[in-house]
Amino acid sequence: MQLRAAAAPAQSISAEAAAALVQSGMWLDYGGGVCQPNAFDAALAPRVPELHDIKIRNCISMRPVQALEADPAGERVYFLNLHFGGWDRKMHDAGHGHYIPVNLGEIPDYYRRFMAPVDIAIIKTCPPDADGFFNLSAGNLWHRGVIERAKTVIVEVCSGLPYCPGVETGIHASEVDYIIDGGSTPPAELPNPAPGEVDRAVASQIAAEIEDGACLQIGIGGMPNAVCGLLATSGVKDLGVHTEMLTDGIMQLYQGGHITGARKHTDPGKIVYTFALGSGALYRAMHNNPDLLSCPVDYTNAPHIIMQNPRAVAINSTTQVDLLGQAASETDGTRHISGTGGQAQFVRGTYAAPGGKSFICLPSTYDKRGARRSRIVPQLTPGNVVTTTRADMMYVVTEYGCVNLKGKSVPERARALIGLAHPDFREELERAAYDMRLIPRGFTFG
């Protein structure tokens, strides 16, 4: 691990004194997730009217960024985001935030090779351990790359964060310029809504495809978590985990004895992840847990690492699939709603694993302005961004079935995907497929 050398021993200062270091034109990095600073941000907000051209980079804001809210006209603070959460989406809708297109697992390399050096990195951490490392808690991610490129490093120490063992999980005291008190507030929680009937129907089809010894990646959302719930009662055993996000569903499988990691080729016996978001129960179970291994995102999400685990399985959700098999998982037309995340990398990595499988799941319909619409469509909504290409797509799952698109021709794909649509939409999808010449008339498959 490359350590950054601070100019002088770290100083303990107030949040207000730390915010006073900010000058117009600076790039600030807030880390993201549970590492998002709060005390510093609250102290910076009153200074915003006297500053201009401040760039703040963040990811999945778990609390409102007060410095941005202090600039309602959007003329002083420029907000850039590596993956949207709910609050980030609202800021984008209001014209006050913008997305940085990324494969999440490549972000450390972006910092090291392409992004301009960070003027000030402000990252929330656990208190220092006996070796002088400020643990990054449940947000390892790309923070090592941020620290290496930062001109000034500020840690906001919070005793309410879980301490998470792993690889490159900390910032050494010798790298830190300033320390501020972040209090003892527990990390913000991400709600876990109970799965609905459609979630359970989709999950049951995926769970049927998961074998003993499979190595799981579980994405964000109700459907992937519903799979965990079904696996907990399925009798499947010796599961492994090599994932991007650690979820409540994974933790429940672990606590139920279904996850041993005994058959993994990389990090056997360990649940490998790069960040976690979920309930307070999840964070408490993570604290100092030796069975969990926090790793940088360029390790967890690298396809050449993922593929080393036999029967690797990726379970991710999407919002729209067209009849060619393209998945749009991050936008609704020109409205940005989330991000590429690690979906594309896990789709490729799990497919390349011996016996590997990738599942992209979605409900067949959704309601918009009181009208039911199909998520299986002839063509993607104009402006929609392709997250998983048609060449990469493997299994697609709705409540009406599960199909493997690998090796299927365009006509075969169209037929298979129409079969996954809600029955009320199949006739018009088939008519569109003929009109678009995706399915030749008179041609049968079998």
**Cα distance between residue 155 and residue 173, in whole Å:** 10
Element (H, E) at 57: strand 54-58
Contact 330, 337 (CB under 8 A): yes
**Cα distance between residue 318 and residue 363, in whole Å:** 9
Determine the longest span between alpha carbons in the chain, in angstroms: 77
Q: Helices 423-435 and 410-418, interaxial angle, to 10°?
A: 160
Q: Can you tell me whether residue 79 is helix, strand or coil?
A: strand
The set of catalytic residues is: 244
Task: Give the length of the chain.
Answer: 446
Tokens of 155: 């840690």
Distances (CA, A) of 399 to 199, 201, 207, 365, 423: 8, 5, 13, 10, 11
Tokens of 15: 């949040």
**Cα distance between residue 205 and residue 37, in whole Å:** 41
**Cα distance between residue 298 and residue 376, in whole Å:** 32
CA dihedral 25, 31, 35, 38 (to 10 degrees): 20
Tokens of 91: 């800021």
In the chain, the amino acid numbered 41 is D
CA dihedral 273, 276, 278, 279 (to 10 degrees): 100
Contact 119, 28 (CB under 8 A): yes
Residue entry with tokens 């940085």 = 100
Q: Can you tell me whether residue 127 is helix, strand or coil?
A: coil
**Cα distance between residue 305 and residue 255, in whole Å:** 26
CB half-sphere exposure, 426, CA atoms < 13 A:
10
